[in-house]
Amino acid sequence: MPDLPTGPLVPWAAIPLFQALRPAEREALRPLVRLHDYDEGERIFQEGDPATQFHFVLGGRVKVVKAAADGREVILEIFGTGDPVGAIAAYEERDFPATAIALEAATLLTVPRHDLFRLLEHNPLLARGLLLGLTRRMVELTRKLAERSSRVEYRTARLFLTLAGRFGRAEGSATRIPVLLSRQEIADLVGTTQETAIRILSRWGKEGIVLTAKDGFVIADRNRLEAIPPID
């Protein structure tokens, strides 16, 4: 896909990391930034590619996947507006450990790694923001690993509560999550089988906890979802 024009229309405010930039620093960074449109299903980067750029989501959603032993693509994470994608690999200057694909039509902002690091040397607030963002990502990964020992229903509940916090829209007492995920993708995200994911979502639907909608899901009873215990 061709690059979109950058210039003064770069939406800095959409990326929390860049909100600390002063006008002169934004102007210095502007010629280095590129905006890219991606169609649904289009690859942003491939596992094994050198992480020479930082990628930030401006619009749409991006999934990060890894090939399973049986050849399937297993979803590791979903990112939305403002999120960095592959930031830890770019920070450490190593190859991307997984593949990023547009889950839907998406726009990403990219900045070359060496140019961003040169700017960080003169902007402590920007450097602090990047480190805080990376720390939060590491904490989230650690939490997910710790949850692997909890019961599957609890992990599934945490997934939907996390999606609600990041992408949800309030509709009265309910929360709509406009993210289309198959039962297999949900199973991959929580580390279980497709059959178990089907069973949990089917029961939740009958009990009016989480409903499946045309555009994703609706959390109809958040209190019951939050009350699901991590162990029996």
We report the CATH number of the domain holding residue 100 as: 2.60.120.10
Do 28 and 108 share a domain, yes or no? yes
Instruction: Give the count of domains, the chain.
Output: 2
Do 82 and 167 share a domain, yes or no? no
Read off the pLDDT of each residue in 68-82 and give the average, rounded to a whole number.
Answer: 83
Tens of pLDDT along 48-63?
999 999 999 999 999 9
State yes or no: pLDDT of 40 exceeds 70.
yes
The residue out of 146, 162, 196 marking a domain boundary is 146
Distances (CA, A) of 152 to 13, 119, 159: 38, 44, 11
Do 54 and 161 share a domain, yes or no? no
Do 139 and 203 share a domain, yes or no? no
Name the residue range of residue 54's domain.
3-146
Which stretch, 63-67, 85-89, 215-219, has highest mean pLDDT?
215-219
Do 80 and 164 share a domain, yes or no? no
Alpha-carbon span 105 to 33, nearest angstrom? 20
Which two tokens mark 4?
């979109």
- Asked if residue 232 is part of any domain, the answer here is no
pLDDT reported for residue 88: 86
Do 136 and 156 share a domain, yes or no? no
Do 98 and 160 share a domain, yes or no? no
Do 129 and 201 share a domain, yes or no? no
The residue out of 146, 174, 192 marking a domain boundary is 146
Secondary structure (DSSP) of 101-119 = EESSSEEEEEEEHHHHHHH
Read off the pLDDT of each residue in 73-85 and give the average, rounded to a whole number.
Answer: 88
- The model carries a pTM of 0.74
**How sure is the predictor about 2, in pLDDT bands with cuts at 50, 70 and 90?**
very low
Do 120 and 21 share a domain, yes or no? yes
